[in-house]
Chain A
């Protein structure tokens, strides 16, 4: 059992608050992704869990044991670094076996375990090579194999795929997901790439300015963002926002009327994903500004009463710049945000 509990963790660098009041529970064998733009504190949080950084306050528990005062080596973790950190003076075999040798395991056990994970990561033919003789992707595999060989309770990954080229990244993404699921290890994975986060995670923690804004399953984060930040961060293109004002029992959005939530506030923000819009006879009137054919579909950038508004349409649609289109959102996909607190209603 390696459940991770992070309680009230905060981190200050001088006057700068890198992390504030982080509370997060990660279940045993869960794949948790920390997602956020650079500088949001996701790597700092990971390093605090690893013990490479000390929290200014708060507690970190792994498997029911408080570990924030322990050295990295005593925490039952293994880490994969962004630049792989494969030791250049050791062969691939000795790299993977490094942690096992530190544990003073007998040679035979080391050999078996190294060979097992090397096979798992498809690098068994590279065992006698040095890091300088490997490609980026191979180094990445060595780094993951080295972490897996430790058979840790928790595996921590700091943007492990960000230095690979796009095609290799996609391949490794799927492979890593499979290997980690099989290893039954709890994993925390830091990334700024939302596609990576969506495709790999059991749960995503969206971070912004040192806080966790939402921690939920990928589909929940996508469909039901808890805050405007999440809605505008997740999705490519992100959600569209329009101001809505009360009009009787309904809400008026750019001239169209929608059923909204029961609330005391008089002004709301209406939000809808670009793919949840269809052209219709009545709805929101938009002026087409840019049409971008993307093959599978058409990305149309419009303006609605001066607000930017993006729509994903079928690629057979023919549209011209300046044309006025009427768009109807799918009713069950409309979300509402409080403009004051920027939280979902």
Chain B
């Protein structure tokens, strides 16, 4: 993080400016890291320690809370649901998003800019506003309380990102490479398969993982649209409201960790969305 800031930000001049610079970097990092660290400590502490004061700064490595979750009934089903929905979301958002990204980067068509704007605008509608009509529609079509129905909603949420990320990735591949392949005996399709796809695969994977995380993290639609087949987020939201504090911490930790790991793994490609990919 500090590396990115020092590369892109204005370089500090005097020692006073340097102090401000360093302290803001530290502050920003602390802003993100400290809550996660506390989450970690409290997850790995015994119930007594969690409720006591002052807090310890070092975890006790007490796996009691985590162990509780492993045996909590419905937990495994919810986890399975979460993964199913996230995988479906990932597949659909790439299958729909990547061709759109390719079209945006390779073809000129009327309304191209409007289309890009519309893609972003889909993020402007608050989900709670759509949830009720969606729930009604889902009940009418029988999609309610199914993992597929939920993944449709999650796909809608993930598509803007998959389109924009893949658009940027495709734009980074010179058209001349494809043209060269065409002159060397490829059709449009085989040129895509033999030249574009191998070059774009890491980026597509990253974009897919990002879609996975979006679905994994989503709680509102999951809570409204499912009852029996709850995903982990909705399940924990439902059950932790009345649980003791140490279990809330552990539940939060279980949710945060996979998302953090995945995002960390693909961070390089997420910058591609803003056109500053370090290829």
Q: Which residues of A contact B (CB under 8 A)?
A: 50-52, 71-73, 77-79, 81-83, 85, 87-89, 98-99, 102-103, 146, 150, 156
**A73–B176 touching, CB < 8 Å:** no
Does B199 make an interface contact (CB < 8 A)?
yes
**B186–A73 touching, CB < 8 Å:** yes
**B183–A87 touching, CB < 8 Å:** no
Output the nearest chain A residue to B184 by Cβ-Cβ distance: A99
Output the nearest chain B residue to A83 by Cβ-Cβ distance: B176
**B176–A87 touching, CB < 8 Å:** no
**A81–B179 touching, CB < 8 Å:** yes
Nearest chain B CB to A4 CB, angstrom units: 15
Residues in chain B near residue A87, CB distance under 8 A: 177, 180-181, 195
**A52–B199 touching, CB < 8 Å:** no
**B199–A89 touching, CB < 8 Å:** yes
Output the nearest chain B residue to A152 by Cβ-Cβ distance: B183
The contact of B177 among A51, A85, A102, A103, by CB within 8 Å, is A85
Residues in chain B near residue A78, CB distance under 8 A: 183-184
Residues in chain B near residue A82, CB distance under 8 A: 176
**A77–B183 touching, CB < 8 Å:** yes
Output the nearest chain A residue to B185 by Cβ-Cβ distance: A102
Tell me, in angstroms, the Cα distance from A83 to B175 when the chains sit together: 11
Q: Which residues of B contact A (CB under 8 A)?
A: 174, 176-177, 179-187, 190, 194-195, 198-199
Known: A73-B183, A82-B176, A87-B177. 13 other contacts (CB 8 A): A50-B183, A51-B183, A71-B187, A72-B179, A72-B183, A73-B187, A78-B184, A85-B180, A98-B184, A102-B184, A103-B185, A146-B184, A156-B183
**A83–B174 touching, CB < 8 Å:** yes
Output the nearest chain B residue to A81 by Cβ-Cβ distance: B176
Tell me, in angstroms, the Cα distance from A99 to B185 when the chains sit together: 6
Nearest chain B CB to A274 CB, angstrom units: 39
In the assembled complex, 10 residue pairs joining A and B whose CB atoms fall closer than 8 Å, in A order, are A51-B183, A71-B187, A72-B179, A73-B184, A73-B187, A81-B180, A87-B177, A98-B184, A146-B184, A150-B185
Nearest chain B CB to A98 CB, angstrom units: 5
Residues in chain B near residue A85, CB distance under 8 A: 174, 176-177, 179-180
Output the nearest chain A residue to B182 by Cβ-Cβ distance: A72
Tell me, in angstroms, the Cα distance from A70 to B51 when the chains sit together: 76
Tell me, in angstroms, the Cα distance from A89 to B177 when the chains sit together: 11
Nearest chain B CB to A291 CB, angstrom units: 45
Knowing A85-B174, A89-B199 are in contact, say whether A79-B180 is a contact too (CB < 8 A). yes
Tell me, in angstroms, the Cα distance from A99 to B194 when the chains sit together: 11
The 8 closest A-B pairs by CB, nearest first: A102-B185, A99-B184, A85-B180, A85-B176, A72-B182, A79-B183, A73-B185, A89-B198
Residues in chain A near residue B186, CB distance under 8 A: 73, 102
Nearest chain B CB to A14 CB, angstrom units: 11
Tell me, in angstroms, the Cα distance from A99 to B184 when the chains sit together: 5
Nearest chain B CB to A90 CB, angstrom units: 8
Residues in chain A near residue B194, CB distance under 8 A: 98
Residues in chain B near residue A73, CB distance under 8 A: 182-187
Nearest chain A CB to B149 CB, angstrom units: 39
Residues in chain A near residue B187, CB distance under 8 A: 71, 73
Tell me, in angstroms, the Cα distance from A82 to B185 when the chains sit together: 19
Knowing A81-B176, A83-B174, A83-B176 are in contact, say whether A88-B183 is a contact too (CB < 8 A). no
Output the nearest chain B residue to A150 by Cβ-Cβ distance: B184
**A52–B182 touching, CB < 8 Å:** yes
Tell me, in angstroms, the Cα distance from A77 to B181 when the chains sit together: 12
Output the nearest chain A residue to B173 by Cβ-Cβ distance: A88
Tell me, in angstroms, the Cα distance from A87 to B197 when the chains sit together: 12
Nearest chain A CB to B158 CB, angstrom units: 27
Nearest chain A CB to B181 CB, angstrom units: 7
Tell me, in angstroms, the Cα distance from A175 to B179 when the chains sit together: 25
**B181–A52 touching, CB < 8 Å:** no
Output the nearest chain A residue to B188 by Cβ-Cβ distance: A71
Tell me, in angstroms, the Cα distance from A98 to B186 when the chains sit together: 10
